[in-house]
Structures are given as C-alpha cells and as structure tokens.
Amino acid sequence: MFKLTYNPSMNKGNFQKWMELNTDLAEKSVKSYVGVISKIDTYFENQNLNQPPLEEINSSEQLEKLKLEYFSVTENIELDKRGNRMYSAAFNNFISYKTSQGSKQIGNEGIIYIISNPAMPGLVKIGKTINLENRMRQHSSSSAIPLPFRCVYAKKVKNYSQVERKLHKGLNSHRENPNREFFRISEEEVINFLELIDGEDVTPREDHFEDKEDEIAFEKATRVGQRFNFEMVGIPIGSTLSFLRDEDVVCTVISNTRVEFESDSHSLSSAALIAKNRMGFNWRTIAGPLNWKFEGEVLDDRRARLESSD
C-alpha cells in the first residue's frame, strides 16, 4: 500500500507566528497550543497511514471533519477536559490559522504597534502584527473592552518578533502583568524607543470605529482626559509648553486652564488637535495633557507624579 510520508517537523513556526500576530494568547499558551497540535497530528498519523499532516491541509471543511472525528473518541474528550479544553481551543485556533493563512509562509517583516484606550489611562499595549487594520479591529471589537483602541504609533520593521521581545524585556519593570502586553508607561517613552529602530512609520492617520455609538463613547471618554489645571501642577502663567511630537511647536500658558497657540486662546486639547492634524492625522479628539510637555516632562506624567507624592 502506498504510504504518505509523515513530516514530524510540521511547520510549527508558521502556526506559532500566526497566533502571536493574530491573538492575545499568552506566550505560554501559544507554545502549549503548538505542542497540542503536534500531538493531534501524531494521533491521526497513527490512525490513518494515508492521512497527510495537518499543516498540509488547507480546507477548513476537512479540518472541521477531522476535529469532529478526533473529539468523537472518549479518550480524547477526557484528555480535553483534563486540559481545561486546551485541545479543542488549540484545534479551533489551528483551523482559523489555516483558513486565513493557508500554506503561505509568514515572513520576518512585520509591524510593531502601540495602542492606548481612554478606558485604561496610563496604560499602553505593545504588540506585533502583519495586518494592522485587522488587528485593530480585533482589539476594539472585544466585548470585554468598553471602548475602542487608538493606534498612537506603528512601525514596519524587519525581525519584528525580535524587536518586540527586546521592547518587552527593556520595559519589563513597567509591565502590569507578565502574561499580558500592557505597560504602565507614557506613550512618548515607547515611541522614542521605536524611533531608534530602522523601519517605516505606518501609523494610521484616522480612527476607525465599528459604529457611531463607539465613536461617541470614545470621544466622550477622551474629553474627560483633557481636563487640566496648571496651578495645581505648579506651572505658572507665562510658561512655554512644547508639543510632544515636534518640540518646535509651542504654546504659552495664559490662565489656569488655557494656552495661547498661534495668537489664539485654546484649551490644551484643541491646540494639540490642530498640531496633530497638521502632521497628517485626521483625529477628532485628543487628550491635551498627553501631548504637551513642560520642562521635558509630559503634563499627564507630571500630574500623576505630583498626585502620587501627596
């Protein structure tokens, strides 16, 4: 009987890369799922000599049939239960991977992104992807997150996995949870790190929302973060503030809540929005305290520092 040669070294790297780029799974879970798929592959190899490795199957219909076949066996059902449904979760992720990726190899060029959310003040998420638009949609569509995310910076780089690992390692002291990609650090600090790396700036110039309700909620929450009192943070009237992304752009404090920008009176946020839109962005709201600096310190960081010392 003709026998297909089984390849024990299935392309685990491609599946692993796909999960790293398209899911929020922790690194430990990603590695566990790769191991599970390898075991499932071995199971089918032992059951059917004519069964090709899972990596060679691109039909989602065929993979779904194999999943049903696998979990029709009592022993495999019990194995899944003991593993807290890890086997079924790994199989589902593998099917999603093959449905979207097929046999295409994932290269070493990808995008490192920094996103923030007005529902999580002070936190940024640092991740990687090969499709920023899809990844942003995945993040913002989660029912566990009350508001959409905004991509504040994104850069296409070579060896993106290595770049992300180094970023995460360098910022480890700022990490909120070792199994999550959230860091308590100002956007500017992370952007400064990324700007030192060769690559192409691919930051989206517009916010994208699923519906009008999301847009209204996002803008409302962003305006809450705009409130700022200069007197309370020890910044006297007449002080000069510099714009975060271009220090040649400045404004002058003229009251406890207003600045003069280009000869007109503005809130911090309206002045920042004008400056940001002139850089090619088409945002409708922006939190001023996150985008102006006084004596080299981001205003929001200054406020947080002084409040924590009280």
pLDDT classification of 61: cutoffs 50, 70, 90: very high
Q: What is the pLDDT of residue 186?
A: 85
Amino acid at site 223: R
Q: What SS3 state is found at 155? A: strand
Question: Rounded to whole angstroms, how far apart are CA atoms 139 and 136?
Answer: 5
Task: Give the single-character DSSP code of 5.
Answer: P
Span 210-245, pLDDT tens digits: 888 888 888 888 776 567 899 999 999 999 999 998
pLDDT classification of 310: cutoffs 50, 70, 90: low
Phi first, then psi, for residue 142 (nearest 5°) are -65, 130
Question: Rounded to whole angstroms, how far apart are CA atoms 124 and 142?
Answer: 17
Q: What is the pLDDT of residue 224?
A: 64
Question: Rounded to whole angstroms, how far apart are CA atoms 195 and 286?
Answer: 22
**Domain coordinates in residue numbering, the chain:** 12-101, 109-222, 225-309
pLDDT classification of 121: cutoffs 50, 70, 90: confident
Span 171-193, pLDDT tens digits: 999 988 887 889 998 888 888 88
pLDDT classification of 266: cutoffs 50, 70, 90: very high
Tell me what the mean pLDDT of segment 18-45 comes to.
Answer: 89
Q: What is the pLDDT of residue 151?
A: 94
- Residue 220 neighbours by CB under 8 Å, 6+ apart: none
Question: In the chain, where do the E strands start and end?
Answer: 109-116, 123-129, 150-158, 182-184, 200-201, 240-243, 246-253, 259-261, 264-266, 292-294, 297-298
Tell me what the mean pLDDT of segment 290-297 comes to.
Answer: 93
